Amino acid sequence: MKVVALPEYCLGCGLCEIYCAAQHDGWNGNVLKAFKKGKPVNRSQLMGSSQWCWLNTCMHCTDAPCVNGCISGAMQRDPDGTVYVDTERCVGCFTCVMLCPYGHVRPWQEKHQVIKCDLCRDQKGIPACVANCPNGALQLLVEEVDAG
């Protein structure tokens, strides 16, 4: 599974980032509370200019360089194929950041860890960015996961 961004329909409105941030770290998708009470951090980042923009989503690569190169075993792939960071184990060496050709995995400076899309795996339903994109510029692509 992965979220695919379609730049030709991306408005650059940034709702994906907002809902992404509010979906994580215990804010449960409550945008108002998340932004009024805290400083929620989005996983995926909007890229480009207003003319040509897209959400830099995780490809959840089958042969994921970030997982393979993680020095602490924090970067993992769950049985559904979702690549996620185990924040208990991440030491913030940023090797995965260096290995991600999409520039998706990025440092979370405040926590001295890395941050990336986890497809909202802790939540029910489709990822928050896809659910809240006003123009269908984000789509959830479900592929067969290699059982190995």
Partner 1 sequence: MRYVIIGSCIAAMGAVEGIRSIDKKGLITIIDGEQRGAYTRPLISYFLAKPYKFKDIRYRSPEFLAANGVEVINAMAEQINRTDKQVVLNDGQIIPYDHLLIATGAYPVMPDIAGIEKSWIKTFYTQADAESLNALLAEGQEAVIIGSGLIGMKAAEALWQRGLKVSIVEKDAYMLPRVLSSGSAVILNSLINGAGINIRCAEELTAVLPDHQLEFASGMKLHADLLILALGTRPRSELAVACGIKVNKGIVVNNYLQTSDENIFAAGDVIETRNILTGENEIMALLPQAHKEGFLAGCNMAGHKIAYTGGIFQNSVNIMGVSICSAGSLSDAAYTSLIWKQDEKYLELFLDGSYLYKYTAINLPELSGPLTAAIERRIMIEETAWRTFMAAPSLSTIPPAYWHKIGDIPRANTWNQ
Partner 2 sequence: MARSIMTPAFKIERDEDRCIQCGVCVRQCANDVHHQDEDGWMWVDDEKCVACQRCAVLCPTRALSIKEYPIDFRSNQHWTSPTIREIYAQAESGGVLLTGMGNPRSYKNFFDHLLLNASQVTNPSIDPLREPMELTTYLGNKSQNGSEGEKPQLELDIPIMFSAMSFGSVSINVQKSLAAAARELGTFWNTGEGGLHSDLLGYGKGAIVQIASGRFGVHPDYLENSAAIEIKIGQGAKPGIGGHLPGEKVSQEVSRARMIPAWSDAISPAPHHDIYSIEDLAQLIETLKVATRYRKPIAVKVAAVHNISAIASGVVRAGADILVIDGFRGGTGAAPMRIRDNVGIPIEMALAQVDSRLRDEGIRSQASLVVTGGIRNSADVLKSIALGADAVYIATAALLALGCHMCQMCFTGKCNWGIATTRADLTKRLNPIIGSRHAINLLTAWSHEIKEMMGGMGINAVESLRGNRLMLRGIGLTREELDLLGVKPAGE
Minimum CB distance to partner 1 smaller for 27 or for 77: 77
Q: Nearest approach, Cβ of 21 to partner 2 (angstroms)?
A: 9
User: Could you count the other beta carbons within 10 Å of the beta carbon of residue 76?
Assistant: 15
* Residue 13 touches partner 2, criterion: CB under 8 A: yes
Q: Nearest approach, Cβ of 36 to partner 2 (angstroms)?
A: 7
Question: How do beta strands 2-5 and 138-141 pair?
Answer: antiparallel
With 0-12 / 13-18 / 19 or more C-beta atoms within 10 angstroms meaning exposed / middle / buried, residue 46 is buried
* Residue count, binding to partner 2 (CB under 8 A): 21
Out of 47, 90, 96, 137, the residue judged to bind partner 2 by CB under 8 A: 137
CB distance 115 to 41 below 8 Å:
yes
Q: Nearest approach, Cβ of 56 to partner 2 (angstroms)?
A: 17
* Residue 10 touches partner 2, criterion: CB under 8 A: yes
* Residue 44 touches partner 2, criterion: CB under 8 A: no
* Residue 92 touches partner 2, criterion: CB under 8 A: no
Rounded to the nearest 5°, which phi and psi values hold at 142? -105, 120
Buried b (16+ CB within 10 A) or exposed e, 86-123: eeeebeebebbbebbeeebbbebeeeebbbbbbbbeee
Angle, CA 34 vertex, CA 33 and CA 40 arms, to 5°: 170
User: Please, which of residues 47-76 interact with partner 2 by CB under 8 A?
Assistant: 50-51
Residue with tokens 């995995």: 105
Which of the choices partner 2, partner 1, none does residue 111 contact, using the CB cut-off of 5 to 8 A by kind? none
Minimum CB distance to partner 1 smaller for 28 or for 135: 135
> Using CB under 8 A as the criterion, which residues of the chain lie in contact with partner 2 when the complex forms?
8-15, 18-19, 31-32, 35-36, 50-51, 132, 134-137
